[in-house]
Structure 1
Amino acid sequence: MEKGAVFPLFYLPNVEFFNTLRSYSENGIFLENKEHYPKQTFRNRTVIAGPNGKLELSVPIKKGRLQHTPYKDIRISNDDDWQRIHWLSLGTSYRSSAYFEFYEDDFAPFYQQKFNFLFDYNLQLLEVILKSIKMKVDYKFTEEYHPQYNDKEDFRSSLNIRKPSAYQTKKYHQVFEDRNPYLNNICILDLLFNQGPQASKFF
């Protein structure tokens, strides 16, 4: 098997995700394509800096026996207008940031068009983010599921929403820093909207 690192595919990943991705970009990046969907992870959740502090956004998924469903087959539930809520939350949190309007047209379609599958949605978002932060990453998809790897670094479980991380971003200006403590290692859009083309210098 090829060497490299295996990554999960998250919804608007945090800064640590991209720092780790960059660290392995020359060794081979594999996006996990065959796993069964694990619940309560960043795969359908992200954290942004709202007016009142941390705000978790979650993409709703259709109910069912999720633990036996391949991630790539997980369907987004569009019964409720979650896209409107997420976009309003992003606007409320970042419209006064230095670069929100600069990137607005790149991300708005993800909250206007309907998407069926979570994996496809997250992948298209990832590609736009990588372009925005000017990070060139060549990746492949895993071809079969392995519970563990002996020849690759495995980040499928370590980048976990419920596990405290020791990773520290370089401090940068956040919109509501006058009223809230600095929020470390949250959604990459927080860094992008506040620092724009300089974002990659902060991780």
Structure 2
Amino acid sequence: MRTLIESQYFPCLEYFSVIKNRKEVWIETKEHFVKQTYRNRCYILDANRVLPLAIPMIGGNKNIPMDEIKIDYGQKWLNNHWRAIISAYNKSPFFEYYEPYLHKILYKKHETLLGLNNEVLTFCLKVLNIDTEIKYTSTYEKGPFDETEDIRSVIHPKSDYICREYFTPIPYQQLFGSKFATNLSILDLLSCVGPDADKYL
């Protein structure tokens, strides 16, 4: 059985837990971009709170296919994201090992959101030692499907992971706060536990 899921920006741990436990995952590329989802946002933990990082899109209010939606570099989101990531994780045990790769990916300035997300995903799968076969759709199919697990838009920032059965968090040492913040971006896990990150998924 194949699993169909949307593309995400520095995805949350639940997303990677799904991928790690599947043999074949298809990334949806032909759906219309959906606002206020993980497609163009992630959540990190800084000294004050869980902080959302959202990428502005060109024509985000229009029905533009995911593989055509373009990133708006007219806004200063890129430097803001990088400063926020540095502020949140610069003192973490393992961030220094990933920093040059993350910087290179972000500052390549991909034209499309899908291009950026795909490179982020490729990097993360490599460092997490996840060998799931990743494929990309070439047409949009609404469904229902035979022998396909369709979880597009199921993992959503407005819907708590406890409503689903894909992910059971294991607390790890975070830099800030006395209460463990669950299901953050993979950036948090990698920065805090490094090469042991795959064990937490």
Q: Taking structure 2 as the reference length, what is the TM-score of the superposition? A: 0.93
Q: Aligned pairs, how many?
A: 196
Moved over 3 A (4+): none
Deviation digits for residues 103-152 of structure 1 (CA, Å, limit 9, x no counterpart): 11110113323221000010011101111112122211123212223220
Report whether the alignment pairs 1:70 with 2:65.
yes
- Conserved? CA contact 1:13–1:46, under 8 Å: yes
Residue 195 of structure 1: SS of its match in structure 2? helix
SS in 2 for 1:71: coil
- Percent identical across equivalent pairs? 30
Aligned residue for 2:82, secondary structure, equals: helix
What corresponds to 2:52 in structure 1?
56
Cα distance, 1:65 vs structure 2: 4.6
Corresponding residue for residue 99 of structure 1:
94
Q: Deviations along 1:71-117, whole A, 9 cap, x unmatched?
A: 11000000122111111100100011000001111101133232210
Q: Which residue does the alignment assign to 2:10?
A: 12
1:1-25 deviation digits (Å, cap 9, x = unpaired): xx3110110000000100111111x
Structure 1 Cα separation of the partners of residues 170 and 61 of structure 2: 41
Partner residue in 2 for 1:32: 28
Please say if 1:160 is aligned against 2:179: no
1:123-134 aligned within 5 A? 123-134=118-129
Tell me: CA distance 1:163–1:139, structure 2 relative to 1, closer, same or farther (3 Å).
same
Match of 2:145 in 1: 150
- 2:33–2:60 Cα contact (<8 Å) kept: no
Indicate the residue corresponding to 2:173 in structure 1: 173
The answer to which of 46-55 and 143-152 deviates more is 143-152
Farther off after superposition, 42-51 or 105-114: 105-114
The letter of the residue matching 1:194 is C
Instruction: Look up the SS of the partner of 2:4 in the other structure.
Output: strand
Deviation of 1:40 (Å): 1.3
Q: Tell whether the 8 Å contact from 1:86 to 1:111 is kept in structure 2 after alignment.
A: no
Question: In structure 2, what is the Cα distance between the partners aligned to 1:72 and 1:64?
Answer: 13
The answer as to whether partners of 1:12 and 1:188 remain within 8 angstroms in 2 is yes
What is the distance in 1 between the residues matched to 2:87 and 2:60? 33
Task: Write the distance in 1 (CA, Å) between the matches of 2:107 and 2:60.
Answer: 26
Unaligned runs of 5+ in 2: none
Could you say which residue in structure 2 is the equivalent of 1:140? Answer: 135
Instruction: Give the Cα–Cα distance (whole angstroms) in 1 for the partners of residues 179 and 53 of structure 2.
Output: 19
Deviation, 1:161, is 1.2
- 5+ residue gaps, structure 1, are none
Tell me the amino acid that sits aligned with residue 58 of structure 2: K
TM-score (norm 1): 0.92
Mapped contact 1:99–1:194 kept (Cα < 8 A): yes
